[in-house]
A and B are shown apart, each in its own frame.
Chain A
Amino acid sequence: MQHYSVTSLVKNAIHHHEKWQKTWRSPELKSSYDVVVVGGGGHGLATAYYLAKEHGITNVAVIEAGWLGGGNTGRNTSVVRSNYLFPESAKLYDFSLKLFEDLGQELNFNVMLRQAGMLILMHGRHDLEIMRRNLNAMHMNGIEAEWIDTNEVAKLARGINLSDEARYPIHGGILQKRGGIARHDGVAWGYARAADRFGVDIIQQCAVTGFDISNGAVRGVQTTRGLVKTNKVAVAVSGHSSVLADMAGFRLPVTSQTLQACVTEPLKPVFDVAVMSPMLGVYISQSDKGEVVIGGGLDNYPSYGQRGNVATLEHTISGVVELFPQLSRVKLMRQWGGVVDIVHDSSPIIGHTPIGGMYINCGFGTGGFKATPVGGWTLAHTIANDTPHELIAAFTLDRFKTGAFIDEMGASGIAH
């Protein structure tokens, strides 16, 4: 596998860029593996990569029904941050952000991380109270974030409507400077390439259709290309988790819903920071290409349709135009939806399942892109050692029986 560097760029320029190697192989599916990862999104690919790199388990296949990153990994609005409320979440997401900070080097692939900050807007007295509390919690958890006033908001989010006449006037906000955005498919491709380098087989256009289970333990995976023998399976299929669980004969506390996003035509650079308004139910950033990337809340009923409805889009757009009135005349270029896995307490489920040898990563719902590195890191550890990694000890399926929820809904209250 070719290393990407200035030298390789120069060498390839001499050959008119016609001799670049394929980024990863497209091998045949073998009849057995030590570990089969179901789902070639960021979390599945990261799991395979860390299994190989950190635990020396390289006889691994990643089986993807469509194409790499074609699920939510390639559909998200790519915000990364770690400003969560509870200590368990703060630790998890901050570890992820730290892995993100070195990811380009680690994978030898540019994931275009831009830590220009994540700004949460404060619109009134009620926001003020809850956000001061959240900020204190962040500080207690060792997450750096600061309170900023309207002058600083004006500097960071140029063009934002700071008028007193606004329907929900802005009075300040919380800034996490290490927050920002990264290139979502870059993350999937980077992990895929790096995992492939260790010998992981990446199999696209192959769907898992069932599991071979005997005596409560997994023995194999049925796919559209035949049976694969394995004693360890990692399921990382986000919105399709219930479908896979059903194949294995158990149920999950997950509801699949649509989360949609849209982008405008590209504009000159206006602001670097990612801005979220919990009050208006929107968040917005500007991509490196100049498009304004817009996200909002969930479509409020179950769906596997991978497309959004107008009612939610209307709500989201009205919020954006409230924040940036000058965008009202800008055209939308694309709008799309992803099937996200919503869990009662807005926290992920990572670790063991009721089936022996079967592990799951799901429930990240509207906010799992930022957790791609840590999701892979912790699941790989859990599989290799058959015990939960300490960072995810609180995020097991069991919490639905014990009631030990980690309710992050209040902290975010919005998709992100």
Chain B
Amino acid sequence: MKWVLLVLRIKRRKGCEMMQVLCPWCGVRDEDEFTYGGPAHITRPTSGGDAPQQDVSDEKWASYLYEKDNVKGIARERWVHVHGCGQWFNLARDTVSHKIHCVYKMGEPCPVLTPEGDPKNRND
């Protein structure tokens, strides 16, 4: 395990720190316990009413499956605590600073955020 030493040396360097993620069930943990699971609040397309899904256009499928907002700034994301409790949850995270502004449960709407990214009124 020689490389542990090398890695420890790297960890002590400034500006090269682990992102901390707040799991709603387990509390704050290092980022390597988690896996990013894609953008949040993406809805599967329908062709409206009871029309069969195969009627959804190729454009709509392409947009649903592959196109991304990929925002520079605060993004809504799904994460899973894969090396922990195994639960999924959502968070609003700044893709430049990596600051996590709020964590909320799957299925809940994203709390309204101020332009600085802080939650205005928690949606409990």
Q: Which residues of A contact B (CB under 8 A)?
A: 240, 242-243, 246, 251-256, 300-305, 307-311, 313-314, 317-318, 321, 325, 328-329, 332, 335, 344, 400-402
Contacts and interface: CB of A to CB of B under 8 A. Distances in A.
Interface in B1-49: 2-3, 5-7, 9-11, 13, 15-19, 30-32, 35-36
A313 B3 contact: no
A116 to B, nearest CB: 26
A311 B83 CA distance: 14
Interface of B: 2-3, 5-7, 9-11, 13, 15-19, 30-32, 35-36, 58-59, 61-63, 65-72, 75, 77, 95-98
B66 A400 contact: yes
A305 B67 contact: no
12 contacts: A243-B72, A253-B67, A255-B70, A300-B35, A302-B70, A302-B75, A308-B16, A309-B31, A310-B17, A311-B30, A317-B10, A325-B2
Nearest to A242: B70
Contacts of A240: 72
A303 B35 contact: no
Given A253-B68, A256-B72, A302-B77, 19 more contacts: A242-B68, A242-B72, A252-B68, A253-B62, A255-B68, A255-B70, A301-B77, A304-B95, A305-B95, A305-B98, A309-B16, A310-B16, A310-B17, A317-B7, A317-B10, A332-B6, A335-B10, A335-B16, A401-B58
B16 A251 contact: no
Residues of B contacting A: mostly: mixed
Given A305-B97, A311-B18, A252 B6 contact: no
Nearest to B10: A313
A308 to B, nearest CB: 7
A335 B32 CA distance: 19
Contacts of B71: 242
Contacts of A309: 16, 18-19, 31
A245 to B, nearest CB: 9
Contacts of B77: 301-302
Contact of A302 (B7, B36, B62): B36
A313 B95 contact: no
Nearest to B16: A310
Contact of A328 (B6, B62, B63, B97): B6
B2 A254 contact: no
A311 B32 contact: yes
Contacts of B17: 310
A66 B27 CA distance: 40
B94 to A, nearest CB: 9
A401 B59 contact: yes
